[in-house]
Amino acid sequence: MIIRSGLIRNRDDVDFAAFSRHWRHVHGPLALRVEAMRAYRQNHILERLPARQGDRLHRVDGISQLWFDNVESMRVAMESAEQRACIEDIREFLSDATILIQQEGERRQQGDVERLPMKYIYLLAGPDAAIRTMEGRVFADLAASFANAALRVNPIVDRGFSVDPTVSAGGQVIDAVLELWLPQGTYDPVAQRIMSENPDMGIIGAFRVDELILKET
């Protein structure tokens, strides 16, 4: 399956708590009406972590994830009346929305991963070989550090989509999205260290998030 993510920025004149409530309780139900969508998650930003190339993209206040069978089924869904209702709502409460179309990566996991409440998301730039090497090193170090952990790397597969010509978007500078899940109360120094040691890797954004599952596959 593919994942259609939106890197969204709140309007500067809207209170952040009000933005989060609207995204969760108003926009979320609208998005759930889009046909062919297999799953839907919202990732609400709890903490911004160091990102040495963070100035290459607009501020990110939330990251959506919508699953579709393939790019074509997503393309059809994006032309629906339900999606147009979503766009009307986006114009009212967001400043920017940059779309990332990803191939869902293999979820690598160790131990009990049924409930791993701590989630981190990294927006990465770099060649595929460097990203794959990083993935292997991060998982090996996580497995050595935690009894329970999981990660997934989703490479960008299409850069030609935007929400709508009337909605501002940032440059398409992301090459992959790394998701990490860890036990409650743990911190993720592992991925930060490994990626900072790799000169071929750029961290465009790094976040600890509250993952809200609105529809599961």
Cα–Cα distance, 78 to 163 (Å, whole number): 9
Cα–Cα distance, 201 to 127 (Å, whole number): 8
Pick the closest to residue 164 from 68, 63, 79, 103 (CA basis): 79
pTM above threshold 0.85: yes
**What is the DSSP secondary-structure string of 110-176?**
ES--S---EEEEEEEES-HHHHHHHHHHHHHHHHHH-SSEEEEEEEEEE----S-TTSB-------E
The tens digit of pLDDT for each residue in 155-188 reads: 999 998 888 888 889 989 999 999 999 988 777 6
CA atoms within 13 A on the CB side of 11: 13
Q: Residue 197's pLDDT is what?
A: 72
**What is the residue whose two structure tokens read 């497995």?**
143
Cα–Cα distance, 45 to 40 (Å, whole number): 16
Range of the domain at 87: 2-214
Work out how many domains the chain is built from and give that number. 1
The counts of H helices and E strands in the chain are: 6, 9
Q: Residue 34's pLDDT is what?
A: 93
The tens digit of pLDDT for each residue in 122-148 reads: 999 999 999 999 899 889 988 888 899
Cα–Cα distance, 136 to 206 (Å, whole number): 19
Q: Residue 188's pLDDT is what?
A: 65
pLDDT along the chain (217 residues), means of 10: 96 91 95 94 94 91 97 92 91 91 96 88 94 90 89 95 87 95 77 71 92 92
Q: Residue 107's pLDDT is what?
A: 95
CATH of the domain at 182: 3.30.70.100
